[in-house]
Amino acid sequence: VWQGCSIGTAKLHLLEFSAFMEQQGETNTYNRHLFVHISQGSPTALESVDVRQIYDKFPEKKGGLKDLYERGPPGAFFLVKFWADLNTGVPDEPGVFYGVTSQYEGPENMTITCSSKVCSFGKQVVEKVETEYARFENGRFMYRMHRSPMCEYLINFIHKLKQLPEKYMMNSVLENFTILQVVTNRDTQELLLCVAYVFEISTSERGTQYHIYRLVKE
Amino acid sequence: ERPDQVPMRKRQLPASFWEEPRPV
């Protein structure tokens, strides 16, 4: 059902992705704010974006988006446009946790490696590499990267972005801020998913939004 | 082949790329 409708291939499918800040309140309550969030929505056909339109927004040397796309498979490449929500109701105090949670599923038992590269003006500034083992649940193999701590670079970036007085200034900074996530099968080095993220600030009062596109070469 | 620092607004992107979805 989900093929062609969201981020995934026959081998791996993204179920959830969220970046958040969270504060533990009194009586063990948690106050969580989502900066960005992808969840399973109702399936709709994806529009396409020519991958060459965004090459320069991501690393271009060996192992960059162009290289990766040429190696393929092309069906594993996606672009996500996020409208991020920076209207945090959570006070930014010591003890606030900044994290990222992502969840994948697939039909095979694999060990996956997930690389997340934060890029500024198309150049990688920081990379996180995580390895995740499969857990068999309800006939599918699940891969959960739960509450992975956000790197200092991103936390500082969010702080600085929030200090800008106008949304258009934030969007101007975000024009040159991107994240590239590459998920591979650790044992075979097969590319399973490649997701390019670009950002704008949400103008909605009701939180973060997104569009997903297929990356193609037309 | 590549746009090379052309502002995103001037690139060949779907109209939806600039339209924030309405909250459900």
Confidence (pLDDT) at A29: 78
Mean of pLDDT over chain A = 92
In total, the C-beta contacts within 8 angstroms joining chain A to chain B are 46
The mean pLDDT of B2-20, rounded to a whole number, is 86
Percentage of chain A surpassing pLDDT 70?
A: 95
CA distance A12 to A7: 9
- Is the model's pLDDT at A2 over the cut of 70? no
**CA of A209 vs chain B CAs: smallest distance (Å):** 6
CA distance A201 to A168: 8
Residue A161 corresponds to which tokens in the numbers above?
């972005």
The mean pLDDT of A22-38, rounded to a whole number, is 85
Cβ(A197)–Cβ(A180) under 8 Å? yes
Confidence (pLDDT) at A60: 87
Confidence (pLDDT) at A30: 80
Determine if the peptide bond prior to A107 is cis (ω within 30°): no
Q: What is the pLDDT of residues A34-64, one digit of tens each?
A: 999 998 766 678 999 999 999 999 998 888 9
The mean pLDDT of A63-79, rounded to a whole number, is 94
Percentage of chain A surpassing pLDDT 90?
A: 80
Q: What is the pLDDT of residues A84-122, one digit of tens each?
A: 999 987 667 778 999 999 999 999 999 999 999 999 999
Q: Is A72 helix (H, G, I), strand (E, B) or coil?
A: coil
Confidence (pLDDT) at B1: 42
Contact residues on chain A for B12, CB-CB shorter than 8 A: 50, 53
The mean pLDDT of B11-24, rounded to a whole number, is 90
pLDDT confidence of A204, banded at 50, 70, 90?
Answer: confident
**CA of A35 vs chain B CAs: smallest distance (Å):** 15
The mean pLDDT of A146-153, rounded to a whole number, is 95
For residue B1, what is the nearest residue in chain A, using CA coordinates? Answer: A52
CA distance A128 to A112: 14
Amino acid (one-letter) located at A125: V
Confidence (pLDDT) at A1: 43
Residue of A70, A178, A209 to mutate when probing chain B, most B C-beta within 10 A: A209
For residue A57, what is the nearest residue in chain B, using CA coordinates? Answer: B5
Phi, psi of A163 (to 5 degrees): -75, -15
Confidence (pLDDT) at A95: 82
**CA of A94 vs chain B CAs: smallest distance (Å):** 32
Q: Do B23 and A204 touch (CB under 8 A)?
A: yes
Confidence (pLDDT) at A118: 97
- Is the model's pLDDT at A142 over the cut of 50? yes
The mean pLDDT of B1-24, rounded to a whole number, is 83
Confidence (pLDDT) at A145: 95
